[in-house]
Amino acid sequence: RSKKLVVFCHETGADLTSWYKHAYFLPEHGVDVLTFNFQPVALAPKAESDTIYPYQWPSRKDLHCLERVLSWVAVEKKGFEVALFGVSKGATVAAAAAPSPLIKSVMLDGAFSTRMTLQRYMKKWVNIYVSTKRLSVGIPDWVYIALAYTTLMYASLKKNIRFFSIEKFIARLKKPVFWIHAGKDSHILTDHVEALRHMIPGQTELWVAEGAGHANAVTLYPGEYSQKIVSFIDKTLKV
């Protein structure tokens, strides 16, 4: 049996059983799958900061959780070629952890930039706060960028959890990336994905699943989804 391992990162509102929906086909192709819960069981947390809550935005706590898993993998799965596979927020956290020397490649289904998402919705709803449309149209992008980062900082302080956006992480990502984008994703648009891909110095491959909603390509195109994932793993994990 080959020593190929995929570490799967689940989406918000799911748990470790989510791996089966998105990666059930991997074991039959000789690929081991390791998954985990981002939300650890805490019977009596001392403070809010002791617990990882299922927010939709990725946080440093989510990232540290994955990094602890990878530390275990480095010791207990020595000799394995390791790839990351994440869905939605899990994909965003996987992208942030992917520059690790342990990781050979990464698969992202529905990854996003928190800052760019905030920026888009700020532009969409700005007329609620700026009554004159002519003024709202003239607001430069740097204002929205500054507001988005300020919002992230404020939310981090308010919730005592450090939220992050992936731009600075993927700028160091020199591993092969397979990016799955849902063609009818109402949250993450294609130009959002393309902007992020252009920040990655390594090789990226994009599959746009036409007609699929957010992180739902596996449901609409199960055969093509599995074939593309397996093909990417075969190309990037050489054991």
pLDDT digits (tens, 9 = 90+) for 62-107: 999 999 999 999 999 999 999 999 999 999 999 999 999 999 999 9
pLDDT recorded at residue 54: 66
d(CA 79, CA 70): 13
Under the banding of pLDDT at 50, 70 and 90, the label for residue 141 is confident
Report pLDDT digits (tens) over 110-138. Answer: 999 999 999 888 888 777 666 666 566 77
For residue 38, give both structure tokens: 């981002």
d(CA 194, CA 179): 10
Which residue ranges form the domains of the chain, and what is each CATH number?
4-112+166-236 (3.40.50.1820), 114-164 (no CATH)
More confident residue, 46 or 175: 175
Average confidence score pLDDT of the chain: 90
Provide the b/e sequence for 81-117 (b: ≥16 CB within 10 Å): bbbbbbbbbbbbbbbbbbbbebbbbbbbbbbbbbbbb
Report pLDDT digits (tens) over 15-32. Answer: 999 999 999 999 999 999
Calculate mean pLDDT across residues 179-196: 95
pLDDT over threshold 80, residue 45: no
pTM for the predicted model, two decimal places:
0.89
223: three-class secondary structure by DSSP: helix
d(CA 93, CA 122): 23
pLDDT over threshold 80, residue 177: yes
Calculate mean pLDDT across residues 167-182: 97
